[in-house]
């Protein structure tokens, strides 16, 4: 079974491109894929300025059958208490240079050997 974690941009693409969630749900039901989320994606979606779009994105987020996963590192001002692990921060630091806050999602993907 393949583990998959979506970067926040994927929720926007699902909404904008009208991607049918039934395919994702079917993959989960067949047991070929397991989907994971962290608080980072939800936090970023909740920061969407347009209220209507924010509600639509949160609905897409909630409709994907997923398992919550703590981020592999904690970052002051970003991480939520109890939703992030303590780490040496080396991999996060390497990713942070290129990806900003999404480095926490990338780090979770790498450390858990997920498809992202």
pTM: 0.85
Q: d(Cα 40, Cα 108) in Å, to the nearest integer?
A: 11
Q: Does the structure show a pLDDT above 90 at 37?
A: yes
Return the pLDDT at 3.
95
pLDDT for 68-89, tens place per residue? 999 998 888 888 888 888 888 7
Return the pLDDT at 5.
94
Task: Please name which of 92, 75, 93 lies closest in space to residue 84, comparing C-alpha atoms.
Answer: 75
> Where do the structural domains in the chain lie, given as residue ranges?
2-111
Return the pLDDT at 87.
84
Q: d(Cα 80, Cα 74) in Å, to the nearest integer?
A: 8
Weakest mean pLDDT among 5-14, 63-72, 94-103: 94-103
Buried b (16+ CB within 10 A) or exposed e, 61-71: beebebeebeb
Q: Degrees (nearest 5) of the Cα angle 95, 97, 103?
A: 35
Tokens of 59: 């609905």
């Amino acid at each position: 079974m393949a583990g998959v974690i979506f970067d926040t941009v994927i929720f926007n693409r699902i909404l904008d491109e009208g991607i049918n969630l039934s395919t994702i749900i079917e993959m989960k039901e067949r047991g070929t894929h397991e989907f994971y989320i962290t608080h980072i994606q939800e936090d970023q979606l909740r920061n969407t300025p347009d209220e209507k779009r924010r509600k639509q994105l949160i609905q897409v987020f909630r409709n994907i059958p997923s398992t919550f996963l703590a981020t592999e590192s904690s970052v002051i001002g970003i991480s939520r208490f109890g939703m992030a692990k303590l780490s040496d921060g080396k991999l996060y630091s390497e990713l942070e240079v290129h990806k900003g806050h999404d480095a926490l999602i990338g780090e979770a993907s790498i450390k858990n050997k997920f498809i992202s």
